[in-house]
Amino acid sequence: MLYYEDIEVGAKQSYGRYDVTREEVMEFAAKYDPQPFHLSDEAAAATHFGRLSASGWHTCAMTMAMLVENMKTQTQAGLGSPGIDDLRWKKPVYPGDTLRVESEVIEKRRSASRREMGLFKSRTKTLNQNDEVVLEMVSNGLIRTRDPAGED
């Protein structure tokens, strides 16, 4: 089990593989982000995207799927997330792309008011098959401490 005390600032991971399909891009967009350039080749061709592209929110969802799959490889005393500090869609994601994730722990601190939990920040990048960053975010994770009375 991985606890707050086990988290190391500077720790890096590389993981995941997500094959982006045309069907999924259009299905997600139809349900959650029905803008024409996510639904129609013709509409997309008339934009700076040049062709059908995935919604940024779909890119977030694909990233989350890879994050959760990676968490299954290590049992973590996780307590969820209070949110994201920064989120940028750097490049479009297209059907046929293959995505992967790189993350680095950039900060951690024990809660002053709830000593049984800590918070850590990670810089997460989602990259395509050409190693181009398509999404970058700084996320916050809550995690149990092994020893609530322990030092930071």
In tens, the pLDDT along 76-129 reads 899 999 999 999 999 999 999 999 999 999 999 999 899 999 999 999 999 999
pTM higher than 0.85 = yes
pLDDT of residue 147: 85
As beta bridge partners, residue 93 has none
- As a CATH number, domain 4-144 is 3.10.129.10
- Name residue 53's amino acid: S
Helix (H) or strand (E) holding 16: strand 12-19
Q: What percent of the chain has pLDDT over 70?
A: 99
Helix (H, G, I), strand (E, B) or coil at 65: helix
pLDDT of residue 73: 86
Q: Does residue 61 contact residue 28 with C-beta atoms inside 8 Å?
A: yes
- Name residue 8's amino acid: E
Q: How far apart are CA 91 and CA 127, in angstroms?
A: 9
Q: How far apart are CA 17 and CA 26, in angstroms?
A: 20
Q: What is the pLDDT of residues 33-49, one digit of tens each?
A: 999 999 999 999 999 99
Q: Does residue 72 contact residue 65 with C-beta atoms inside 8 Å?
A: no
> Rounded to a whole number, what is the distance in angstroms from the first to the last CA of the chain?
19
